[in-house]
A and B are shown apart, each in its own frame.
Chain A
Amino acid sequence: MTRFVLGRIGFYTLIAVLLAFFTVPLLWLVTAPFTSDPTYEVRVPDFTWDNFAALLEHPYALPSLWNSVVLSAGTAVLVVIFAALAAYALSRVRLPGRDALLYALLLLSSIITGTAAMVPLFQLAVELNLIDSQFGLILILTGGLLPAAIFMLKDFMDSTPKSYEESARVFGASPLQIVRDVVVPLVRPGLATIAVWAVANVWGNFLMPYLLLSDVEKQPAAVITYTLYTEGGQANLSMLSTFGLLYSIPVVLMYLFVSKKYGFRFHGGIKR
């Protein structure tokens, strides 16, 4: 009995520490936007809406959020569809050198997300006439994210029992039907995870959108965030914190939606 009580106490202490660890850094984000002249100090706000009013007048802030949505949703959709098909094929059909290929692509993908790749990517975009095109940027971002997405999804695919597909196959379902009716629903939590992961990656990406999109009306919020500085490079904290809050809300909503609708887990229940 004491062991049980101690266990409970230990559990809730741990949870409390975790909650504190993950909450305290966020305090600034929820107080600064409502403070008149925010500094780095977390203070009880004076609950002003002036910062939001100022942001509403910003010519690019709100449109840039929409651009962020377009870029990240577009990338997430492409990543999920292409990665799911590829991961399924690679999971089910053994091609020679498959694993080595995946590892090699994964390693290369780390190079492409680094700073050093900006020149090749820029010039590639120029050659393919994809400069200043959101679609082009989506393709480039998708290419960088696909290997890791395939890698993760293949894991999900590998761990789904094959009898589901065989069953559907005996009933006469075509491979595409099997993917649609059986595989996709089974790995839906995996797909949701990948989608959120892709969105989070694109949502915060600054360098590539900045370099590849010249037209400010196409630039995402990450780029606009960087503009909220003064001539001398000083952060405009009232704008930054306020925009930061608005900038964060869509991803939080997306997470809540996805986790409610699909959950981030496998379906349990069937014992194997």
Chain B
Amino acid sequence: MAQATSPPETRPEDEAQAPRYSSDAAGLGKARAGAFAAPALLLIAVFLVFPALWVLYLGLTNYRLTGTAAAEPQFVGLDNLLDAVSNPTFWSSTWLTVQFVLGSAVIGQVGLGFAIAWLLRDRRGPLKRVVEGLVILAWILPSAIVSFLWVALLDRDGGTLNALLGLPGFAWLLDHPMLSIIVFNTWRGTAFSMMLYGAALGNVPPSHLESARLAGASGWQQLRDVVFPHIRGHILTNLLLISLWTFNDFSPFLLTAGGPDGKSEVLAVHVYKVALQSGELGYGAAVSTIILLINLVVAVFYLRLLRSKK
């Protein structure tokens, strides 16, 4: 009976998630879990939460990079927000952003990424490595370089695409700016979805797929009935992150500079122009706040969508 008294941390409050198993498999306990999370949370608090709240505050001022408003910024309340929503440029930017996110993130990156992961799921060997390697290359190359690649590809006169298609003089970036940046961003970001779905598909028990195949399920039915239920969580994570990043992606600026005439000025580019080029930091921060709110709505929408089917 040497250890009749128990050490305090061995009796954590019941943390069981499901009634059957405690989720705290390693016996971490709240105190130690806190210690594990502390470094990350501390960094986040100092370098993320604090400045982010500061940005939200800036959105309520008329702060500018230079000029009198830089010396003595004034609190203007919701004026910036109201200015934004009464500005047609802002609304066209928002609409373009929605197209951009839907086209390049949800359909482009998620769709293509899943398709590649699915096509290559049972493959080994050089073909898979080459395809995956190229897709990932597009993702890890620095955007400063990538923008040049795409200008070279889509250029009106010497562009590779026009040379291949035999369409000299076709101005992709001018006549189809949104299509261009959507395809560009699909090219750029597919790797992340591909990797995530590749890992997720590895988790789908082969036996489930086999039984579906035996039951005569078509490819699509297999996906719908076996694969999607298994990777629903991954889909949620992926959609959430990809949409969030795409909303804030500023790299279309490098390709079209928001042009021609604002026809590809997505919100992130709008903020860049407003904040960096015009120095209107207060207004830029307010638009950032609006982007945050839109992202919030999108996140809630995804959560609802994927939870309701559970």
Contacts and interface: CB of A to CB of B under 8 A. Distances in A.
Query: In the complex, A touching B, CB below 8 Å?
Result: yes
Interface of A: 11, 14-15, 18-19, 21-29, 32, 39-42, 78, 81-83, 85-86, 88-95, 103, 105-121, 124, 128, 139-140, 142-144, 146-148, 150-152, 155-156, 158-159, 162-166, 168-169, 175, 178-179, 183, 189-190, 193, 196-197, 199-200, 203-204, 206, 221-222, 225-226, 235, 237, 240-241, 244, 247-248, 251-252, 255-256, 259, 264-266, 268, 271-272
B90 interface: no
B275 A225 contact: no
Given A42-B160, A107-B244, A120-B58, A28 B52 contact: no
Given A24-B160, A41-B152, A247-B145, 18 more contacts: A26-B149, A29-B145, A32-B152, A85-B40, A89-B37, A110-B248, A111-B288, A115-B250, A120-B50, A142-B43, A147-B44, A168-B26, A169-B26, A235-B148, A240-B148, A251-B142, A252-B137, A265-B202
B93 to A, nearest CB: 14
Contacts of B275: 115-116, 118
Interface of B: 15, 17, 21, 23-30, 32-34, 36-37, 39-41, 43-44, 46-52, 54-56, 58-59, 63, 65, 116, 119, 127, 130-146, 148-153, 155, 157-161, 163-164, 187, 192, 195-196, 198-199, 202-203, 205, 207, 233-234, 237, 240-241, 244-245, 247-248, 250, 268, 271-272, 275-276, 281, 284-285, 287-289, 291-292, 295-296, 299
Interface of B is mostly: helix
B190 to A, nearest CB: 8
B299 A103 contact: yes
A65 B273 CA distance: 29
Nearest to A103: B299
Contacts of B33: 89-90, 92-93, 95
Contacts of B245: 110
Contacts of A162: 21, 23, 25
A94 B23 contact: yes
A82 B140 contact: no
A39 B140 CA distance: 24
A24 B153 contact: yes
Contacts of B148: 28, 40, 235, 237, 240-241, 244
Given A95-B30, A139-B47, A166 B247 contact: no
16 contacts: A22-B187, A25-B146, A41-B152, A86-B37, A89-B37, A106-B244, A115-B271, A116-B285, A120-B50, A120-B54, A147-B48, A162-B21, A163-B25, A175-B28, A193-B195, A259-B133
B160 A142 contact: no
B241 A85 contact: no
A40 B48 contact: no
Contacts, number: 315
A266 B199 contact: yes
A94 B34 CA distance: 11
B202 to A, nearest CB: 5
Instruction: Kindly list the 5 A-B residue pairs having the minimum CB-CB distance in the complex, ordered from nearest.
Output: A143-B47, A41-B158, A204-B142, A162-B25, A86-B40
B26 A92 contact: yes
Contacts of B153: 24-25, 28
Contacts of A156: 199
A22 B198 contact: no
A116 B284 contact: yes
Contact of B142 (A39, A128, A221): A221
Contact of B25 (A108, A166, A256): A166
Nearest to B49: A108
B284 A115 contact: yes
A252 B140 contact: yes
A94 B188 CA distance: 36
Contact of B39 (A28, A82, A117): A82
B114 to A, nearest CB: 13
Contacts of B54: 120, 124
A24 B183 CA distance: 13
A9 B58 CA distance: 57
A272 B205 contact: yes
Nearest to A235: B148
B165 to A, nearest CB: 11
Nearest to A225: B144
B47 A41 contact: no
A89 B152 contact: no
A24 B184 CA distance: 12
A113 B295 CA distance: 14
B136 A18 contact: no
Contacts of A117: 51-52, 55, 288
A248 B157 CA distance: 27
Contact of B155 (A40, A114, A124): A40
